[in-house]
Amino acid sequence: MKDTTFKSRSLMPKCFFLIVLLSLSCFIFVFSKSAIFISKSGQVIQVGTGPNSEISPTLKIRPGYTSYDNYIHHQLQKTTNPKLRKIWTTRDWERKIHVFTQFFSDLKHKKLLSNESKALCVGARVGQEVEALKRVGVLDSIGLDLVPYPPLVIKGDFHHQPFDDETFDFEFSNVFDHALYPDKFVGEIQRTLKAGGICVLHVAISRRSDKYSANDLFSIHPLIKLFNGSDFVYTRKVDGFGLDTEVVFRKKNAII
Ligand SMILES: C[S@@+](CC[C@H](N)C(=O)[O-])C[C@H]1O[C@@H](n2cnc3c(N)ncnc32)[C@H](O)[C@@H]1O
């Protein structure tokens, strides 16, 4: 009787150790095949990075939009806020233009943008990026946003750009994360770019974007897939208002 109790007592730590070891192995196995991101809202997003990453999506549409109107309404909440618009057009005005000017000067040096380019900024809000383009000499520049800001920004939805096919030589956007339909967002850029035209996107890959974002991007591969009518030119790390990656595409020439 005494012996049995002693034996079962000595077995307990061994069993406990075995369970801990097994749990740890499972934990390491699962997490070696995935990455965890925690969004600003506290939402935990798990994305595959192991051999299955081709299957695991690295572009996720955020749930919660009940209709297209609901999505537009959400986007407008921030853009139409009078206090914020005052800040964007006063305190933030020059600071932001200065940063955009550096990005566009760099693209001019790389011969991806010139003074002769007809340029569009997609999701330009109050148009600091448009003003920056003009200051570096790209005078034929315009912005597009849900809310107009004349004369720099005209009203329009980037899912249905109000421009003819093959209008622009250059399109810039730092609002890919606001697209509810990323395929339409990219499709419209490719439609309105001339053959050989350049698209420059600033996106967040390693950081989570804000609560007004409609999608989360975890690698540039979905972009390369979406830009199927364009050649990938390059990608590089940047520091652009919370966006960390510049990705550049050139629209293919039409096959005759
Ligand atoms: C983060 S802000 C970027 C503003 C600007 N590019 C800048 O850096 O100052 C996102 C902008 O995208 C606009 N936006 C969101 N959804 C849009 C849509 N479907 N069509 C056009 N603009 C949209 C918003 O109104 C907002 O001005």
CA distance 73 to 91: 26
Which residues contact residue 114 at a Cβ distance below 8 angstroms, ignoring those fewer than 6 apart? 108, 138
Give the residue from 164, 106, 112, 169 showing the smallest Cα distance to 132: 106
Whether ligand 1 lies within 6 angstroms of the CB of 173 is answered as: no
What spatial distance separates the first Cα and last Cα of the chain, rounded to whole Å?
92
Residue 220's pLDDT is: 96
Q: Where are the domains of the chain?
A: 2-54, 59-251
161 HSE (CA, 13 A, CB side) = 26
Whether ligand 1 lies within 6 angstroms of the CB of 125 is answered as: yes
> Pairing between strand 193-203 and 168-173?
parallel
Whether ligand 1 lies within 6 angstroms of the CB of 202 is answered as: no
CA distance 50 to 53: 5
Which atom of ligand 1 approaches the CA of 143 most closely? 6
Interval 32-48: pLDDT, tens: 333 333 333 323 333 33
**Length of the chain in residues, anyone?**
256
CA distance 151 to 138: 15
Residue 27's pLDDT is: 39
Which residue's CA is minimally distant from atom 14 of ligand 1?
123
User: Ligand 1, residues 78, 178, 239: which to mutate, most atoms within 8 A of Cβ?
Assistant: 178
Residue 41's pLDDT is: 30
Whether ligand 1 lies within 6 angstroms of the CB of 183 is answered as: no
Give the chain's residues under pLDDT 70. 1-57, 209, 255-256
214-224: b or e for each residue (b if 16 or more CB lie within 10 Å)?
Answer: bbbbbebebbe
Whether ligand 1 lies within 6 angstroms of the CB of 99 is answered as: no
Interval 118-149: pLDDT, tens: 999 999 999 999 999 999 999 999 999 999 99
Residue 74's pLDDT is: 96
Whether ligand 1 lies within 6 angstroms of the CB of 154 is answered as: no
Whether ligand 1 lies within 6 angstroms of the CB of 128 is answered as: yes
Interval 193-219: pLDDT, tens: 999 999 999 999 977 768 899 999 999
Residue with tokens 């007004």: 212
Please give the share of the chain, as a percent, with pLDDT higher than 70. 76
Specify whether domain 59-251 bears CATH 3.40.50.150. Answer: yes
Residue 114's pLDDT is: 98
- 93-109 vs 128-135: helix axis angle to the nearest 10? 50
Give the residue from 99, 75, 102 showing the smallest Cα distance to 214: 75
162-197: b or e for each residue (b if 16 or more CB lie within 10 Å)?
Answer: eeeeebbbbbbbbbbbbbbbbebbbbbbbbbbbeeb
